[in-house]
Amino acid sequence: MSSQFIEKARQVESRASEAFKAATSEAELEAARIAFLGARGLFAELMKELGQLPNEVRPQAGGEANRARKKATEVYQAAKEALERGAVSEDSLDVTLPGRRPAPGRRHIISRTTAEICAIFAQLGFSIVEGPEVETDYYNFEALNFPPDHPSRDMQDTFFVSRDLLLRTHTSPMQVRSMEKSRPPVWVVAPGKTYRRDSDISHSPMFHQVEGLLVDRGITFADLKGILTSFAASMFSPDTKIRLRPSFFPFTEPSAEVDIACVLCGGRGCRLCGDSGWLEILGSGMVDPNVYAFVNYDPEEFSGFAFGLGVERVAMLKYGLDDIRMFYESDLRFLAQF
């Protein structure tokens, strides 16, 4: 009699434990609790049966039944805590908390400045073209009238890929490529990456330029100045003054370096412009007849101008930055300002 009872108590305990552990929701667990531990559950029934046992076996059987019930109750408690830990109940969810904003990407300030420069020239009538970053010596130097011993060909400045291939040191090869492709009128701007063996506060081994070229009949130096004045007004502020200083580039004759009135002091002189009142922004000039010879343009029939500007330099002047390396350090605190 008593051994049967004890066996039954153990079975109820193990079924109860299994049911509690298998419950996947609080509702399921509660149903199992009622079935086993409830006032009319299986353990309650067991206790009733205990009353019918003979007096002499009752203490031992009772002890056994209590132990089984206590064990099942412990399993129930553990299952309940586990469910509460894992579950998101209504109390633990505060729907009034602000959401977490995703951090969206944005265009890099150099890409934005390049696009802005191109948009200004597009509005003036120029087309936008792109060309290879790995160039031949021919397009990067030879067809641009660089004599073989010109310092710009020096190993110091140029990354060579092979004897004849190099990373373009400027976007000027696009002048030759554009003129080869079509006859005048040619109105192009060519943005892109350029490379030089140079690295300090104002030089980066990879930087960006926008090249410009306009060739047609009767184009003069006055047209160059007009276009660049218009560009400076759009890029900086409407009354930005520019000045042209005589300079030298192998592929332009005459050549000029172009300055804008200092964006900080307006020309009075300050730390940014080294008290000169002017900031250099680009190189330019009238296309050299020697370059026309490489693309079979007749210099008696056509004339034109070219210019090349540094995107980093324009961005630094526009936003008052003093270290070119900031652009490439991927510091979101810096980049997110723009």
Segment contacting ligand DAH (CB under 6 A): 61-69, 118-126, 131-139, 248-256?
Answer: 248-256
Residue 140 within binding range of ligand DAH, rule CB under 6 A: no
Instruction: Estimate the crossing angle of helix 58-86 against helix 26-37, to 10 degrees.
Output: 170
CB 129 within 8 A of CB 174: yes
In angstroms, rounded to a whole number, what is the distance separating the alpha carbons of residues 282 and 307?
7
C-alpha–C-alpha distance, residues 159 and 212, integer Å? 24
- What value does the CA radius of gyration of the chain take, rounded to a whole number of Å? 41
Contacts with ligand DAH, 208-227, as mask; x by CB under 6 A: ---x----------------
Residue 158 within binding range of ligand DAH, rule CB under 6 A:
no
| Number of Cβ atoms within 10 Å of the Cβ of 80 | 16
Kindly state the smallest distance separating residue 319's Cβ from ligand DAH, in Å.
Answer: 22
CB nearer to ligand DAH: pick between 33 and 168: 168
Query: Shortest approach of ligand DAH to residue 194 CB, angstroms?
Result: 7
Which residue among 285, 294, 315, 316 contacts ligand DAH (CB under 6 A)? Answer: 285
Instruction: In angstroms, give the least distance from the CB of 263 to ligand DAH.
Output: 21
CB of 144 to ligand DAH, least distance (A): 8
Return the structure tokens found at 4. Answer: 């049967």
Q: Which stretch binds ligand DAH (CB under 6 A): 44-52, 95-103, 272-280, 305-313?
A: 305-313
Residue 252 sits in the site that holds ligand DAH (CB under 6 A):
yes
Determine if 141 is a binding residue for ligand DAH (CB under 6 A). no
Q: Where are the alpha helices (DSSP H) in the chain?
A: 2-22, 26-37, 42-51, 58-86, 109-124, 137-140, 173-181, 221-235, 289-295, 311-319, 332-335
Half-sphere exposure of 20 (CA within 13 A, CB side): 23
- For ligand DAH, what does the binding mask look like between residues 62 and 91, x meaning CB under 6 A? ------------------------------
- What are the C-alpha distances in Å from 120 to residues 107, 227, 235? 18, 10, 8
Measure the CA–CA gap between 154 and 214, rounded to whole angstroms: 29
Alpha-carbon distance values, 165 to 143, 153, 256, 333 (Å): 14, 12, 29, 38
Residue 334 CB, shortest distance to ligand DAH, in Å, is 26
For ligand DAH, give the closer residue by CB, 32 or 174: 174
Of 221 and 328, CB closest to ligand DAH: 221
Q: Give all strands (DSSP E) within 123-251, no chain letters.
A: 127-128, 134-136, 165-167, 186-195, 206-216, 242-249
Q: Name which position in 139, 207, 307, 327 contacts ligand DAH (CB under 6 A).
A: 307
Closest distance to ligand DAH from the beta carbon of 300 (Å): 21
Which member of 68, 306, 311, 316 binds ligand DAH (CB under 6 A)? 306
Contacting ligand DAH (CB under 6 A), which of 8, 69, 170, 177? Answer: 170
Of 337, 265, 279, 336, the C-alpha closest to 313 is 279
Positions in the binding site for ligand DAH (CB under 6 A) = 170, 172, 211, 249, 252, 255, 283-285, 306-308
